[in-house]
Amino acid sequence: MLPPQPPPSNVDQVFRGLLEDVCHNFRNDQVEEAHEVAWLLYQEPALPLAMRAHVACMLGTGDGDYVKFAKEGVELFEQIVSMGCTACFSW
């Protein structure tokens, strides 16, 4: 059994809200808007690892350096799984 997780900080809640907006825009075919916010999140050094992996994969669906982002997203998810941190995905 995993130890209890501390409640998310205000910063984590902001990141979560923005990531939810990105996912909502993606689901509703507002891909350009989703990529804009995903790019802003991607540039944030304090973004949690699981969210960074998710955002990188989303950016991997766009134009430009999409292969770089897709590879980075997969590498980050592999790193998270190798750490045994499945709780990282419970945002």
In-domain check, residue 4: no
- Judged by DSSP in three states, 2 sits in coil
Q: How many domains does the chain divide into?
A: 1
Q: What string of DSSP letters covers 48-75?
A: -HHHHHHHHHHHTTSSSSHHHHHHHHHH
1-51 confidence digits (pLDDT tens):
556 767 777 888 899 999 999 999 999 999 999 999 999 999 999 998 889
In-domain check, residue 30: yes
Give the predicted TM-score (pTM) of the model.
0.75
pLDDT given at position 89: 54
pLDDT given at position 88: 57
Domain that holds residue 25: 10-89
Mean pLDDT estimate for the chain: 85
Please report, rounded to a whole number, the percentage of residues in the chain having pLDDT higher than 90: 38
**Rounded to an integer, what distance in angstroms lies between the CA atom of residue 40 and that of residue 23?**
14
CB-neighbour burial class of residue 19 (10 A; exposed 0-12, middle 13-18, buried 19+):
buried
In-domain check, residue 3: no
